[in-house]
Copies of this chain bind each other. A is one copy, B any other.
Amino acid sequence: MRIAVDAMGGDNAPKAIVEGINLAKKDFPEIEFLLFGKEAEIKKYLTDEVNVTIVHTDEKIESDDEPVKSIRKKKQASMVLAAHAVKNGEADAIFSAGNTGALLASGLFIIGRIKQVERPGLMTTMPVFTGEKNAGFDFIDMGANADNKAEHLLTYGILGSFYAKKVRHIDNPRVALLNNGSEETKGSELTKAAFELLSNEPSINFIGNIEARDVFDGGADVVVTDGFTGNAVLKSVEGTAQAIMGVLKSSIKDGGMKSKMGALLLKDSLMGMKDKMDYSSHGGAVLFGVKAPVVKTHGSTGPDAVRNTISQIKTMLEEDLVKDLQTFFEESKA
């Protein structure tokens, strides 16, 4: 099991990435790591070189580089070399905390898509707040595509269901379609057509429509949407959480001594709250529908999240997720 790691991607690279790999090396001695980036900097943080191969390169993709152009121009960038390692069979999966668009482009254009998946989708496991440990739902497409057809949404239902079964070990995962109402008759032209296709797909447990308001209640294991809406929902969730936290902080600040004492007493609870809302325990976002696991974590990721994402990739590889998917699509089209 060999994972190609873009050691230079993310705000705290290579420190946070290499420290995460140190943790993963301890927990998963069966994995070999190929670290792409500046050798001297990587070595500064690496505890030892057991199961590690460093592939030195000075070039890297910046967070504001134009995705498709940059992977074409920066042929020696750490991310691009890591993707080529997967394409050439030197590694089984790629991990990066760098430029999302560039990683999507690397997945699509270097590693390549599974033949029957016309439009790979970006998927992440979002937390739900039902109190159960590790509860969540797989949300796909979070924004790899700006325009999707109903057939793509059917594919996302199949992909998400595979992931929930194989990686999250959920029996018969409940697949729902994000829509503007829960009734069967609701929807845009796109979601109405997708509803029809999902309803008629025998390989998944389609439970109908779900509204964005209700996704956090644990009513579905997989939530399917087009990339434009998925992107808008994800960013609304982020924006709202940020806004509420900002208002909470400023309210405490403006509330004087009494508020500050209150906040101090509440500190443990607020930290517990942060933990409950943290979805890095589920790992990173997966570009799903390409020929190998392509996995992204947040640019501001820390060592623990890197370790969790490596654990997620390990499960995907152990379960042979991509190969099973390919077999499924070949058999269902036959």
Contacts and interface: CB of A to CB of B under 8 A. Distances in A.
Interface of A: 129, 131, 143, 146-147, 178, 180, 186-189, 191, 211-216, 225, 227-229, 231-233, 235-244, 246-248, 250-252, 254-255, 258-259, 261-270, 272-273, 276-277
A186 B235 CA distance: 15
A228 B250 CA distance: 33
Contacts of A262: 261-267, 269
A276 B264 CA distance: 22
Given A212-B236, A232-B212, A233-B233, A259 B252 contact: no
Nearest to A236: B236
Contacts of A225: 232
A272 to B, nearest CB: 5
Contacts of A186: 146
Contacts of A242: 213, 216
Nearest to A146: B188
Contacts of A269: 251-252, 254-255, 259, 262
Nearest to A127: B243
Nearest to A253: B269
A147 B188 contact: yes
Given A237-B239, A247-B273, 19 more contacts: A146-B186, A146-B189, A147-B188, A147-B189, A212-B239, A213-B239, A216-B239, A225-B232, A232-B233, A237-B240, A244-B277, A247-B276, A248-B273, A251-B276, A254-B272, A255-B272, A262-B262, A262-B264, A262-B269
A312 to B, nearest CB: 23
B259 A235 contact: no
Nearest to A185: B66
A242 B255 CA distance: 23
Contacts of A246: 129
Given A180-B146, A180-B228, A255-B272, A129 B233 contact: no
Question: Considering the complex of A and B, which 6 residue pairs feature the smallest CB-CB distances, nearest first?
Answer: A262-B265, A262-B266, A255-B269, A212-B235, A236-B236, A213-B235
